[in-house]
Structure 1
Amino acid sequence: MYTPSHFKMEELAEIQEFIKAHSFGILFSQTDQGPTGTHLPFYLVEAEGEYGVLYGHMARANPHWKSTAQDVLVVLAGPHHYISPTWYQAPDNVPTWNYTAVHAYGQIEIFEEREALLELLDRSTDFFEAGMPKPWKMAESQEYAERILGGIVGFKIVLTKLEGKQKLNQNKSPQLQQNVIDGLRAQENSQAHAVAELMEERAAKKTAKE
């Protein structure tokens, strides 16, 4: 992923936290039919491997898993929004797009064994239910879960490289960044406000280091 140095996410822990917070992405790989992508949820286990391991599952009817190459790319996107040049309140600016993203590269392993699939469903449910007031457990529908095992395949992706990017106007002056934040805050949508919040957090961290 093309990433100028001022937009690069440097810390492994920061990238891993991003993956956990934005865990729905696209699995890309080269297949017999050409480049193929599948939209999927993933959950990350940071303690496994050098960069962590991504786990997930897909429909057995999806041909992607049958012919996927071992080397794969997972693209995960965070908040993003259009940036109007009028928000800078300064000349010589053009429209752009602020966004955050992670590209996770690794080697995929497919598994179909009953016990491994049950463990996968149990762990993934625990991960995605963690923020619920009363987390749902797989044990509540164990019989049904076992009946659907034949319709899915599991996978793990041992990560070999992580690239993180936060394009948040870091190449602009603090005042111009604040003007953009104000422009985003004036919009009536959650994506704009999420980008504004990221810009504020990044600016606060930079100030704390100075």
Structure 2
Amino acid sequence: MYIPKAFEVNEKRKLVNFIKDNSFGILFTQNENGPFATHLPFLIDESKYDNGVLMSHMAKANPHWKDLGDKEVLVVFSGPHAYISPSWYGEFNTVPTWNYVAVHVYGEFKVIDDKEEAKKIIEDTVNFYESSLPNPWLVNFEDKFINELMNGLVTFEIKINKVEGKWKLSQNHSIQRQQNLVNGLLSSNKYNSLEIAKLIEENIRLDAHSKE
């Protein structure tokens, strides 16, 4: 991913939290037939290996998982994004752009053959998404219906080799311009303009604090 220095984020905790908050990612690979992508929910375990691991599952009928053993893959996690109008700057010589937040994870793909380990990945995934609900649903592997569904799934992990974070929030502009953009975004209410406005405001506060 192309990341100008002003937009680069390397803080591990910030990247991990972003993945957890935006955990529905896209798995990208390349084979002799061309590029292939699958949209999937991912869990991240920071404690495994040197850089952590991503875990997920897909339908066994999906051919994407085949012949990927130990190959490097890319998973893209996208956050809020919004169109930036040059009219919001209040100055000449400005152009439209798009502000956004994204994290790219590169790692080695490995199918999980162990049934108990596969069950744990499914159980942890269900618990992760159900935990905030008033009446969390629990997976029951004793249930015949659930067992039959498990036979149609492939669980896998991705050993993380590299994580890239890009927070493109107009940090390369003056504080006044950034504040002008916040005002414009708050009046827009399109795409994720309110979320992007909040992130720019956070950067403005951090910049002010660093100069105190």
1:194 maps to 2:195: yes
In structure 2, the residue matched to 1:116 is 117
Which AA in structure 1 matches 2:92? P
How many pairs are equivalent?
A: 210
Q: 1:6 matched to which residue of 2?
A: 6
TM-score of the pair, normalised by structure 2: 0.93
1:33-63 deviation per Cα after TM superposition (whole angstroms, max 9, x unaligned): 2221111110111222222210000010000
Q: Distance in 2 between matches of 1:92 and 1:189?
A: 24
Corresponding position: 1:127 with 2:133: no
**Residue 26 (str. 1) matches residue 32 (str. 2):** no
| Unpaired segments ≥5 residues, structure 1 | none
Shift of 1:12: 1.0
Structure 2, unaligned runs of 5 or more: none
CA RMSD of aligned residues (A): 1.7
With structure 1 as the length reference, what TM-score do the two structures score? 0.94
Give the helix-richer structure, 1 or 2.
1
Distance 1:130 1:190 in 2: 28
d(CA) in 1 for partners of 2:150 and 2:122? Answer: 9
2:21 is matched by which residue type in structure 1? A
Report the identity percentage.
42
AA partner of residue 159 (structure 1): I
For 2:139 and 2:201, how far apart are their aligned partners in 1? Answer: 39
2:90 counterpart of 1:52:
no
Deviation at 1:98, TM superposition (A): 0.2
CA 1:43–1:133 in structure 2 vs 1: closer, same or farther (change >3 Å)? same
Q: How does 1:83-162 map to 2 (within 5 A)?
A: 83-139=84-140, 142-162=143-163
Q: What displacement does 1:208 show?
A: 2.3
Aligned to 2:172: 171
User: 2:56 is matched by which residue type in structure 1?
Assistant: G
